[in-house]
Chain A
């Protein structure tokens, strides 16, 4: 009896949710959603254009991609609006975030706070038990303030012309860098990928990883980061350009791999290197690998600012981005190759089959090779690592 009641409740819950969404979609018609998202990758930009055309056709909502060089730009803008007392009709409707930027927005109360993300119809295709990252962003509970969009894992790409046996740990990598001076680097922190690489090394070389799951405390940071800096001090003179200059982001670094300036590069998208080959940026000889201990993996999201002018439209967009159709297209390596956040068992057979049928690029690792992951440290470590790195290496007096 209780079981039936619970079932019935769940059903009405779902249909009520769907009805709510339909109502919202109706209100959203005619709105223009300014989607603030990093705009440095042509594939991602093209994907957003496609999503915009679909959303326009189905919901009558216009999607405008505001291309950011740094996500923090939009964070600063939302803050500027709050400072000027602009609590409605803000300029950002939807923002692509995760990790530290999300933590900052959440802490400052700059996000729409009605758990809208959990109420989206597409959210029912996700499974937080199987993928805790969709409700916990760098161990920071999302509280429904942001809707999952995609998954990322740090992978390394190497050119087999120059490297036959890639180094599969921080220690091996350091040895390799010493033997091959000038052929390895990482994007300059605070770039997202660059900082992630530092976190990866930190987790690998630290004897006690447990402290990174908790918020960083000023007193411990020096000792906690010491192994990382010992590693960096060792390799820095042998980095690309002597560790005096760094590429600004991962796309620039992938280009350097294509030119042969670097022999090993990294990216947060497992399909990035296959993508590069099909676009002619990388030679056919590039392949990927991850470290034996596993690599950092996380989820990226879209969030709605507290003062968004088109909040209804933004939720319609977030719901579409999370729909099986949009996720299948996003996971296609010929389009973007960003892994899905949906749970395949929760999809209907047709969509599940479409995911299974997706091609895998020639340089992309299979799921079996990507199953070793490291959990992200608490987001407070990001700032600590970035500032310590900058204090140590970016002030070439």
Chain B
């Protein structure tokens, strides 16, 4: 019952949103005079200039970013987890996990554009450039920088999901068995661990795929604009002053849906092929022993460097953003600001203060609601078959946001909820709740029920068992899920502008507005706040949990 209510809350806006995209795409939108069904919107849509290129760009960005993040993540896991260095992995990824996408994009912009920090560091002493070179990079024609930025953000996410999945697989005994049969650590991993890991990560990978293919905020900054990827153009069509473009936008939204589906099918197909080949190799007992060990060692080192590289660049980019926040004047080609100062903070105090406050409040409330809902869901979950229902909550993550948000806005207006803070929290929850579940559910389900049985024999009632035993022992995962929820909420761009009628500025919407031009200092400050907030929440949650768990230090959790 509770779960059906939660499902309805999550899926109703999505369904209504999709319907409100599909009907206008078929010509039915009475407010604009569309009273009968036709394919005219699709005809108009396909007549748009540069359409093929937009679609190819979207597909190539989505597929390449997903493919690279996935395999680099798998590679890192195989090498570092196999060596028992998961802790190092975790420290590597946690800062990047909590930072919003737009902050990473701003970092890449500040680092790599022709007048960026990298170019400043090496000019003019090495390059001879007194003025920024006229290079077509950031954005580049094939959106390689966008792919790089997406990898920097998605690789950590996949690593986290991978670590969580690996904790359910008995890796060590598997690898030991493989080793005893003469398999190296990498080939043992490939034959025994990888297939299980792949099966458990399929949902996460598809989320990454759909996100990458329909990303808007990062693409506004890092993708080419002549033409832009499909998702960005849909937003432009929705915004066109000529209102007849609403039909084109709706048709494009349906097309975006189709593209996402196509990309997922391509991915699953490739994945199946790879698994098939691996199964053949396993059956043949391929040990790859013909590869010289020096080559394998170099492969491991090179792979780690390659995988870590986008993340390191993202970190340098964010450092550049931090420097800009404290630069009064920073002319090209100075490597560091010509004049440090806080002059931009005067403006930031007025404008970003409100945005920071909004992000904080919105994130805390949404995360608290979603964690409570997740606990309700997990606690009322009884039978094994209920897990199928869980799949449905991921639907909002598996559909391109732009495809249903406009329609959802119409639903909100119809309900009289538009522009209300409640509507915004609702819209955020659609995306925050699934991530909270992803973070919390596996650990929660692995809870050793014998603790509860013991408590029951000692006379504790159900409520007490839940609060004093289960919740108390689960403090760390629950608070981690809370922090994840906060980070997801603070990164949302499209849901924020659509559900709040643009009335509520958060740091993310402010950053996108600022990134379009005005003042790198202000953008630097916005980025700084965006890094600080989620990190702060993570640290506080971590502190709280550890303080709470200090008493339980004898137990192995």
A293 at the interface (CB under 8 A from B): no
| B128 contact set on A, CB distance < 8 A | none
Q: Which of B51, B115, B344 has its CB near the most chain A CB atoms (within 10 A)?
A: B115
A42 and B413 in contact, given A91-B501, A244-B141, A396-B53 (Cβ under 8 angstroms) = no
Chain B, residue nearest A107 (CB): B243
| Chain B residues with CB below 8 A from A45, complex form | 347, 350-351
Contact with B along A130-165 (1 / 0, CB 8 A): 000000000000000000000000000000000000
Partner of B517, one of A40, A86, A246: A40
- Given the complex, which residues of A lie within 8 Å of B517, measured CB to CB? 40-41, 247-255
Please, what's the 1-or-0 string for A377-397, where 1 marks a CB less than 8 Å from any CB in chain B? Answer: 000000100000011111111
- A 33-62 binary contact with B (CB < 8 Å = 1; else 0): 010100111100110010000000000000
Kindly provide the distance from the CB of B246 to the nearest chain A CB, expressed in whole angstroms. Answer: 7
Q: How far is the CA of A67 from the CA of B509 in the complex (A)?
A: 9
A80-93: CB near B (< 8 Å → 1, else 0) gives 11111110000110
Contacts of A80 in B (CB 8 A): 406, 409-410, 413
The listed residue (B227, B236, B347, B501) touching A77 by CB distance below 8 A is B501
Q: In the complex, are the beta carbons of A86 and B413 less than 8 A apart?
A: yes
Per-residue interface assignment for chain B, residues 502 to 527, with 1 indicating a CB less than 8 Å from any chain A CB and 0 otherwise: 11010001101110111110100000
Give the size range of B's interface with the partner: 35 or more
Query: Are the C-beta atoms of A91 and B53 separated by less than 8 Å?
Result: no
A394 touching B50 in the complex, CB below 8 Å, given contacts A67-B510, A83-B29: yes
Tell me, rounded to whole Å, the shortest Cβ–Cβ distance linking A302 to chain B.
Answer: 17
B15-60, CB < 8 A from A: 29-32, 49-53
Indicate with 1 or 0, residue by residue over B336-353, a CB within 8 angstroms of chain A CB atoms.
000100011001001100
Partner of A83, one of B130, B410, B510: B410
Stretch of B153-161, B165-173, B325-333, B377-385 contacting A (4+ beta carbons < 8 Å): B325-333
Instruction: Closest B residue to A309 by CB, please name it.
Output: B419
Set B132, B226, B419: member contacting A395, Cβ < 8 A: B226
Task: Select from chain B the residue with minimum beta-carbon distance to A110.
Answer: B243
CA distance A245 to B143 in the complex (A): 12
CB neighbours of B513 from chain A (8 A): 39-40, 67-69
Decide if B241 touches A84 in the complex (CB within 8 Å): no
B410 and A397: CB pair below 8 A?
no
Whether A375 sits at the interface, judged by CB under 8 Å, is no
Q: Take A101-B241, A391-B49 as given contacts and tell me if A245 and B414 are in contact as well, using a CB distance cutoff of 8 Å.
A: no
Known: A69-B512, A261-B132, A391-B49. A42 touches B414 (CB 8 A): no
Our pick among B139, B501, B503, B516 for the contact of A245 (Cβ within 8 Å) is B139
Say if the beta carbon of B131 comes within 8 Å of chain A. Answer: yes
Q: What is the CA–CA distance of A393 and B53 in the complex, to the nearest angstrom?
A: 13
Taking CB atoms, residues of chain B closer than 8 Å to A100 are 241
Q: Is A227 at the interface (CB under 8 A from chain B)?
A: no
Assign chain A's interface to a size class.
Answer: 35 or more
Any chain B CB within 8 A of the CB of A72? yes
Complex CA gap A275/B510 in Å reads 22
- Distance A248 CA – B344 CA, assembled complex (angstroms): 22
Looking at the complex, which one of A69, A86, A394 makes contact with B516 (CB distance below 8 Å)? A69
User: Which residues of chain B come closer than 8 Å to A181, judged between CB atoms?
Assistant: 134
Q: A188 in the interface, Cβ–Cβ < 8 Å? A: yes
User: Closest A-chain residue to B510, C-beta based?
Assistant: A67
CB distance from B264 to the nearest CB of A (A): 26
A356 CA to B386 CA, complexed, in Å: 76
Q: Which residues of B contact A73 (CB under 8 A)?
A: 239, 497, 502
Residues of B within 8 A of A394 (CB): 49-50, 225-227
- Asked if A42 meets B226 with Cβ closer than 8 Å, knowing A34-B503, A70-B239, A396-B50, the reply is no
Q: Which of A224-263 contact B (CB under 8 A)?
A: 240-242, 244-256, 258-261
What 10 A-B pairs have minimum CB-CB distances, sorted nearest first?
A: A395-B50, A182-B134, A251-B517, A83-B31, A395-B49, A252-B517, A84-B413, A91-B501, A260-B131, A280-B329
Interface residues of B (CB under 8 A from A): 29-32, 49-53, 114-115, 130-132, 134-136, 139, 141, 220, 224-227, 236, 238-243, 246, 328-329, 331-332, 339, 343-344, 347, 350-351, 406, 409-410, 413-414, 418-419, 497, 501-503, 505, 509-510, 512-514, 516-520, 522
Pairs across A and B, CB under 8 Å, 27 listed: A46-B350, A66-B501, A70-B239, A73-B502, A74-B502, A76-B239, A80-B406, A81-B413, A83-B29, A83-B31, A83-B32, A83-B410, A84-B414, A91-B418, A103-B241, A104-B243, A183-B134, A254-B517, A259-B115, A259-B332, A260-B130, A260-B132, A261-B134, A383-B241, A394-B225, A395-B226, A396-B226
